[in-house]
């Protein structure tokens, strides 16, 4: 009820999952817009945007997907080795964002995590946010945080998940 007067909400700063975007959209009045806006702080005006109406149909597992949509007008986006790069209006050198993304077959960019957040394991790397998304898909869990914490003075670490109810 308190949000019913809003016409436009922009969300920035971190990953917004489709189920969260849908819940926010549902709390607003008809015709209101919720935009997930992505872009590096140091490069204002270069980025991407997404709103639910860009989807042709609902997706399976919306609690595991964060879409950042399409580039702002005049900007371009591409990925090299999975790392998202943004090109400013008018061209120029692409700016590596340090974030991981993939271009989906429907032409929308999917945010896949921050490269700096990846956890190195004996047999590869883990995106803690992807694991959090899987944990969040359980109906009894509302929020999840996965972290690597020191186990002892030897430098050994362990992976832990903190969860909260819906």
Q: In this structure, are residues 32 and 25 in contact, taking their beta carbons and an 8 Å threshold?
A: yes
Structure confidence by residue, pLDDT tens digits, 5-49: 899 999 998 889 898 999 999 989 999 999 999 998 877 778 999
3-state SS, residue 6:
coil
Highest average pLDDT, of 1-10, 113-122, 136-145, comes from: 136-145
- What pLDDT score does 97 carry? 92
- What pLDDT score does 86 carry? 96
- What pLDDT score does 1 carry? 59
Distances (CA, A) of 47 to 18, 149, 158: 19, 33, 35
* Cα distance between residue 48 and residue 10, in whole Å: 12
Structural domains in the chain, CATH included, are: 8-115 (2.30.38), 119-164 (no CATH)
Structure confidence by residue, pLDDT tens digits, 41-99: 877 778 999 999 999 888 888 877 899 999 999 999 999 988 999 999 988 899 999 89
- What pLDDT score does 135 carry? 93
Got the DSSP string for 139-161?
Answer: TT-SEEEEEEEE-STTS-EEEEE
- What pLDDT score does 154 carry? 80
* Cα distance between residue 51 and residue 63, in whole Å: 16
- What pLDDT score does 71 carry? 96
- The answer, yes or no, to whether residue 122 has pLDDT greater than 80, is no
* Cα distance between residue 10 and residue 134, in whole Å: 25
- What pLDDT score does 41 carry? 81
Dihedral class, residue 74 (left if φ above 0, else alpha if ψ from -120 to 50, else beta): left
């Amino acid at each position: 009820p308190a949000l019913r007067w809003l016409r436009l909400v922009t969300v920035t700063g971190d990953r917004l999952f489709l189920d969260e975007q849908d819940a926010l959209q549902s709390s607003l009045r008809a015709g209101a817009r919720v935009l997930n806006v992505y872009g590096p702080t140091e490069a204002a005006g270069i980025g991407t945007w997404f709103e639910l109406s860009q989807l042709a149909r609902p997706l399976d597992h919306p609690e595991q997907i964060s879409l950042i949509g399409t580039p702002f007008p005049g900007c371009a986006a591409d990925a090299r080795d999975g790392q998202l790069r943004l090109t400013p209006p008018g061209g120029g050198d692409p700016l590596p964002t340090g974030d991981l993304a993939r271009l989906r077959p429907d032409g929308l960019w999917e945010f896949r995590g921050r490269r700096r957040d990846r956890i190195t394991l004996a047999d590869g790397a883990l995106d803690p946010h992807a694991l959090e998304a899987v944990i969040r898909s359980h109906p009894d869990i509302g929020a999840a945080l996965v972290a690597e914490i020191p186990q002892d003075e030897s430098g050994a670490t362990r992976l832990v998940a903190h969860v909260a109810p819906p």
